Structure 1
Amino acid sequence: MANELYADGIGEITITGSIVRIDFMSLSETERDDKNNPKPTFRQRVIMPVDAFANSMDLMQKALDGLVEAGAVRRTAEPARRPAVEAVQQGQNASPNFN
């Protein structure tokens, strides 16, 4: 049996040199914020080289395109490019932890 992890989303992606760290999070069963919403809680971290991250993003884009084509999800307006994406493409450290 393989180890599996459920995550509600990605909490943070940190890039340090040629290493990418992806922190997965889930909503807490017990902790709540000021508005009584479940707080995001760190679950697990995946660490990979930047080229593997780039390849995985290509694979995820293909999966998303398939979901759009099947009608499972709908695209809204094209998202604006964020400075972090541009920094990664230019080889800079895009993590807010290093500003």
Structure 2
Amino acid sequence: MSFFGNAAGNNSKKRDKYKELTLAIKQIVLERAKYRCQDCSKKLSGTNSPNFINLSGSKKDNRPENLRVVCPECFERNAPSERGPMFSSLKKIFSKS
């Protein structure tokens, strides 16, 4: 530790704060979206449960500004692009047979 802080800087505590997707973070994202899917605007409720998508693709970056909330249908529609190009290529190959 030096006069200027630790080697990692003060950002390490902020990064650790958003390492896990907590209930409080989910609540912030849901309130920001007014409890609606951010793709199709369907109301999210118990039967239409919310799914959270990381915009950066990093599962360790759960800052509210990096998250979107979507309904199950929109989540499935967006899922192949989130799983990467290899998954979507495999899905295309196997869906043809």
Q: TM-score normalised to the size of structure 1?
A: 0.27
Find the structure with the greater CA-based Rg: 2
- Higher fraction of strand: 1
Q: TM-score normalised to the size of structure 2?
A: 0.27
- Higher fraction of helix: 2
